[in-house]
Amino acid sequence: DTAVSQTPKYLVTQMGNDKSIKCEQNLGHDTMYWYKQDSKKFLKIMFSYNNKELIINETVPNRFSPKSPDKAHLNLHINSLELGDSAVYFCASSHGTSGGEETQYFGPGTRLLVL
C-alpha cells in the first residue's frame, strides 16, 4: 500500500545520457513535487504541479523537464546528464498548495549517480 512510489530506486548512468524517474501517488492528492537532496543532505525544491499544471519552477537547468500525465503521476526527465546531477531525488505529494499548510508526503527517493 505504498503511498508515494518512485522508480527506479537506484540509477547509475554515464555523463551525457538521458534518463527518467517516475513517481506515482495513490493518496488522491492534487499536488506533486520534486526535490533534490545533494551530497550534504540539503533538500531543495525543483518543481511542483497542481492538477497537471506547473506551479513551481525553481532555477533548475532546462535539461530537467517534469511531466505530469495526470494528477497521480509526476515524472522527471533529465537530458545530457552531468556529474553534478548526482543526488537523491525525492517526489512528494500533498492535498493542495493554498498557503502551504498541506503536509507533503515523500516517496522513498531515487539515488542517481552520474559517472
Partner 1 sequence: AQKVTQAQTEISVVEKEDVTLDCVYETRDTTYYLFWYKQPPSGELVFLIRRNSFDEQNEISGRYSWNFQKSTSSFNFTITASQVVDSAVYFCALSGGFGGGKLIFGQGTELSVKP
From residue 14 to residue 53, what is the string marking binding to partner 1 with x (rule CB under 8 A)?
-----------------x-x-x----xxxxxx--x-x---
- Contact flag: residue 109 with partner 1 (CB under 8 A): yes
Q: Which is nearer to partner 1, 65 or 97 (CB)?
A: 97
Distances in Å between the Cα of 1 and the Cα atoms of 22, 26, 95 are 17, 8, 18
- Contact flag: residue 63 with partner 1 (CB under 8 A): no
Would the CA dihedral through 71, 72, 73, 74 be positive or negative? Answer: positive
